[in-house]
Structure 1
Amino acid sequence: MAAEYWYCLRHQSVETEQVCPGSERMGPYATRQEAENALASAAERTEAWDNDPRWNDD
């Protein structure tokens, strides 16, 4: 079985085991690097969605 990685919001670190509750983790990710970049990836997706012209909140 392939390893899975999570980004723990509480500890601000990558975890390989489900130590913290799911509500405090992002993932799973396939690689440690993906997990390390979890917050940046989420911010990029949020920015893209906020600027999507198909959605208009007016």
Structure 2
Amino acid sequence: MAEDPSTQYWYNMKTGEVEQGYVSSVVDRVGPFATREEASHALEKLRENSEKWAEDDARENR
């Protein structure tokens, strides 16, 4: 069974803080993450995903 997102960790893009549960508005948070540590590295993960998706798009459009 999947973890309840309301008890998982989120990264608040507005404040740069890690939060547990639905503390801030959905437009300000990314996640969920299983641990506080994972959430603290949210921006790195988002950058990695963006780079990967851009590479995938470039390959598909050749």
Band the TM-score falls in, shorter-chain normalisation: 0.7 to 0.9
> Do residues 18 (structure 1) and 18 (structure 2) align?
no
More helix by share: 2
User: Post-superposition shift, 1:17?
Assistant: 3.0
Considering only aligned residues, what root-mean-square deviation do their CA atoms show, in Å? 1.9
Alignment coverage as a number of residue pairs: 56
- What TM-score, normalized to structure 2? 0.77
**Deviation beyond 4 Å, 4+ runs, structure 1:** none
For structure 1, the residue ranges without an aligned partner over 5 or more in a row are: none
Q: Residue 51 of structure 1: SS of its match in structure 2?
A: helix
Task: State the TM-score, normalizing by the size of structure 1.
Answer: 0.82
